[in-house]
Amino acid sequence: MMQVAMGSTSWVAAQTMAQNMVNDKEAQAITLGYAVDSTKVDIKKFPRHAPTQKCNNCALFQGKASDAAGGCPLFPGRQVVGMGWCSAYAKKA
């Protein structure tokens, strides 16, 4: 079992979180048109996109509206950026 030195727990947590974040270059992200910054989505490719649409106001987002990152069932066990977006976006009721 790996020993974690005192004081490095937050570093380990940060690394684990970084590895858990969805990268917009990975296959599932490309398929869904996921972008880590909703304002940079190509509207020629996704004409129904609006910059106000963000993961943290999407019905599928598993975090709170104020969260910087949270889960999404389209990326099981992973985290998407609150300011991100994908083509499966559905406005939270």
The span of 5-13, 40-48, 85-93 binding ligand SF4 (CB under 6 A) equals 85-93
The span of 4-12, 13-21, 44-52, 82-90 binding ligand SF4 (CB under 6 A) equals 82-90
State in angstroms the smallest separation of the CB of 79 from ligand SF4.
Answer: 10
Q: How many CB atoms lie within 10 A of CB 36?
A: 17
What is the H or E stretch that residue 71 is in? Answer: strand 69-71
Question: 């570093």: which residue's tokens?
Answer: 11
SS3 10: helix
Q: What is the rounded distance in angstroms from the CA atom of residue 61 to the CA atom of residue 75?
A: 11
The span of 9-17, 40-48, 81-89 binding ligand SF4 (CB under 6 A) equals 81-89
Q: Where on the chain is the footprint of ligand SF4 (CB under 6 A)?
A: 34, 55, 58, 60-61, 72, 74, 80, 84-86, 88-89
